[in-house]
Amino acid sequence: MSNTLVHILKNECPNCHKGKVFKDKNIFLNFGFPKMNEYCSHCNYKFQKEPGYFFGAMYVNYGLTVAQGIATYCIAQFFFERNFDLRIIPIIAVVITLCTSFNLRFSRLVWIYMFKDYTS
């Protein structure tokens, strides 16, 4: 499991672990919509199986965003006197907005790895 997470964070092909899924080498600090390779440059593995394949990745993205919002709230509450101060909401919004690009790429990689054919 830990090896899989390392491969996901390195943007590696789920089949051969040598090619890249996204054209950008780094999935962390990129802004804008991600540009994916259609096939792996090393093993010719097709990343998008069918039209609408990545609609399910939206659920992964949603869960990741909610987790980041809750974690931001838990960390930010220590800097305010009251448990729920309304000034925490813009802080959560900024963190979620800054993480959007990473979340989109990461959720697609998780989705590809979840539905990789492990029998071959």
pLDDT tens-digit series, residues 14-30? 888 898 998 876 666 66
Does 120 fall in a domain?
no
Q: What is the DSSP string of 29-96?
A: S--SS--B-SB-TTT--BS--STTGGGTHHHHHHHHHHHHHHHHHHHHGGGSSSSS-TTHHHHHHHHH
- Cα–Cα distance, 37 to 47 (Å, whole number): 8
Any idea of the CA torsion for 83, 97, 109, 23, to the nearest 10 degrees? Answer: -160
16 and 45 Cβ atoms separated by less than 8 Å = yes
Q: Is the pLDDT of residue 36 over 90?
A: no
Does 32 fall in a domain?
yes
Look at residue 10 and give its three-state secondary structure.
coil
Question: How would residue 111 be classed by pLDDT, with cut points 50, 70 and 90?
Answer: very high
Does 99 fall in a domain?
yes
Does 20 fall in a domain?
yes
Question: How would residue 1 be classed by pLDDT, with cut points 50, 70 and 90?
Answer: low
Segments forming the whole domain that contains residue 78: 3-115
- Tell if the pTM clears 0.85, that is, is over it: no
Share of the chain above pLDDT 90, in %: 29
- For residue 35, which phi and psi values (nearest 5 degrees)? -105, 115
Domain count, the chain: 1
Which whole number is the average pLDDT over 60-87?
90
Mean pLDDT of the chain: 86
Does 17 fall in a domain?
yes
Which whole number is the average pLDDT over 56-67?
95
